[in-house]
Amino acid sequence: MIGKQDEAALFAQYRYFLKDSIRQEIDFSRTPQARAYPPPPPEKPVSPGAKLVDLPPPGAWQGIRPIDVESAIRRRQSRRSYSRQPLSLDELSFLLWATQGVRARIDAVTTLRTVPSAGARHALETYLVVFRVAGLEGGVYRYLPIEHQLVFEFHEPDLRRRVIEATLGQRFVAEAAVVFVWTTIPYRMEWRYHLAAHKAIALDAGHVCQNLYLACEAIDAGTCAVAAYHQQKMDELIRVDGQDEFVIYLAPVGKRAE
């Protein structure tokens, strides 16, 4: 049982993360960037021989209806009930572009995307747990934003059960057509911002998920942001090391149930 004084101290310790006081304590002349260390790549490499899936390019999507910003914002809400209808590959391509799509490439390591990121560092990777997407076999994929492609990572025969376990029994997550799982590679942000990186990564995740909510309104789909999960089980499910890359956020997406 934590006493009131200990609880107050604990709250103060964790609230510190929400402040920008850390910036006054960092010697920015000693960051990896300032010391001319090479920057990390903007996306994870692809293994030789990996299966790649070309996505319909921006502007060529079929079945994506126009929707004004005000309507999308008014209708946006968390939805936990999904129909059995699959998403089309065009719809999935649109959602991926809306959340991490590249609008311009400044240099070998800097991209401008459809979401903001501190210093254009974009320290997130997008994984997809695919259950019902037309033209895709079930399994785990990773989005390549620069190429606008998917790379097939692996097939897991007991994927639904493992998703439910990793999300602490939230069964609705595994009833979606696809689950967006965002990991972070912290060093992409740490390279420039040192200890000030971590709050920025959390803010970036919020930008990405809000774009997913709004984009879902254009395809009659729903989503629900999920920040409660078993860290180790989710990292193991996506097959990341949990140290240099780990899950930070996820959101199931499916066609809205009537």
Question: 124 with 248: CB under 8 angstroms?
Answer: yes
Is 157 exposed, middle or buried (CB count within 10 Å of its CB: 0-12, 13-18, 19+)? exposed
pLDDT of residue 176: 98
pLDDT of residue 1: 63
Q: Give the N- to C-terminal CA distance of the chain in Å, as an integer.
A: 46
pLDDT of residue 229: 98
Question: 95 with 212: CB under 8 angstroms?
Answer: yes
208 Cβ contact partners less than 8 Å away, ≥ 6 residues apart: 99, 100, 115, 124, 182, 249
Q: pTM score, two decimals?
A: 0.96
Query: How confident is the model over 219-234, as pLDDT tens digits?
Result: 999 999 999 999 999 9
Residue ranges, the chain, pLDDT below 70 = 1
Query: How confident is the model over 42-51, as pLDDT tens digits?
Result: 999 999 999 9
pLDDT of residue 245: 98
Minimal CA–CA distance to 140: which of 50, 41, 214, 40?
Answer: 50
Q: Cα–Cα distance between 154 and 16 in angstroms, integer?
A: 39
Which helix (H) or strand (E) is 6 found in, with range?
Answer: helix 4-15
